Amino acid sequence: MKRTGACLALALALGLAGNAAHAAGGNPAGGTASGTARSALDLAAYRATYVLPLTYVTGLNRAPFGPQGRTFRNQEMEFQLSLRFPVWSHPLGHRGTNLVFGYTQRAFWQAYDRADSSPFRETDHEPQLLVETHTDFRWLGFRTRIVRVGLDHQSNGQADPLSRSWNRVFAEFVAERGDFAISFRPWYRIPESAAADNNPDITHYLGYGQFRVAFRGGRDEYTVMLRDNFNTGDNRGAIRLGWSFPLNQRLRGYVQFFDGYGESLIDYNVRVLRIGAGVMLSNWL
């Protein structure tokens, strides 16, 4: 419980610090794509940081947990913390290009299962090392503002039989047009030996990339994330819908809906349906 309180306090403190810097507005992606919302430690918001105190979920992958999995509740808490830190600004004298370390943590907490001491069901860690370049390429009325290329490791930090992880090379293209922002992020999974691979079929469920759209309508913001394996014979994919709205100058209400595969690593090959509500502290891209 102490560890949980510390994680949530850190997410709130850093999220509020970052959100204060762009509370007045910005691009429809929340102004974090370029890392402009920085703390005194030169940390910046990266992806969305949010806390959903109550979510309702169906389709949890209970099997890997043995008897404990049968006691998991459909009501659980979810939160995500995402930060970035510039490692090297303007490498080789190229202005507008930065070497960046990013970290995203997403946790699914059985907070209401008091009989079993409210365990964390799953915590996924995703460190990245990437090169980010600011551009101004125009196409179909859109302006490609950021191009990223990097290495991504995602793991739930568990031992067998709960261990899930994979490594990827990825690229990301972020573009804007008026109140719209879009992001396309293709990836290639780095092969592992059969003996070391805990999830050899993960690309069958999570595919080879994802597409995001953000739209600002007045003071409200709407987001869509799509993934698909493009296998017509055995199609798998996911959709995540988000709606955020201002509560005050620092906090935004946030409602999220997810349907599909890969919501968490332990659930990567199980279709999950979830809806939740809470607060958003910093937005994506």
pLDDT confidence of residue 8 = 52
3-class state of residue 68 by DSSP? helix
Q: What is the pTM of this model?
A: 0.87
pLDDT confidence of residue 164 = 97
pLDDT confidence of residue 24 = 40
CA distance 261 to 210: 13
pLDDT confidence of residue 100 = 96
CA distance 36 to 46: 10
16-38: b or e for each residue (b if 16 or more CB lie within 10 Å)? bbbbebbbeebbbbbbbbbbebb
Residues in the chain predicted with pLDDT less than 50, given as ranges, are: 1-6, 9, 11, 13-26, 29-37
Helix (H) or strand (E) holding 149: strand 142-155
Going by C-beta distance under 8 Å and a sequence separation of 6 or more, which residues neighbour residue 186?
Answer: 170, 171, 208, 209
pLDDT confidence of residue 23 = 43
CA distance 99 to 51: 29
Alpha-helix residue ranges (DSSP H) falling in 22-68 = none
End-to-end CA distance of the chain: 31
pLDDT confidence of residue 63 = 87
Catalytic residue (one of 22, 125, 134, 153) = 153
Q: What is the pLDDT of residues 209-253, one digit of tens each?
A: 999 999 999 999 999 999 999 999 999 999 999 999 999 988 999
Please, what CATH class does the domain formed by 2-282 belong to?
mainly beta
pLDDT confidence of residue 70 = 80
pLDDT confidence of residue 7 = 53
- 155 carries an active-site annotation: yes
pLDDT confidence of residue 30 = 43
CA distance 188 to 209: 8
Catalytic residue (one of 22, 34, 118, 155) = 155
Instruction: Give the CA angle between residues 124, 127, 133 to the nearest 5°.
Output: 135
Smallest CA-to-CA distance from 14 within 57, 54, 44 is with 44
- 39 carries an active-site annotation: no
DSSP 38: B
pLDDT confidence of residue 214 = 97
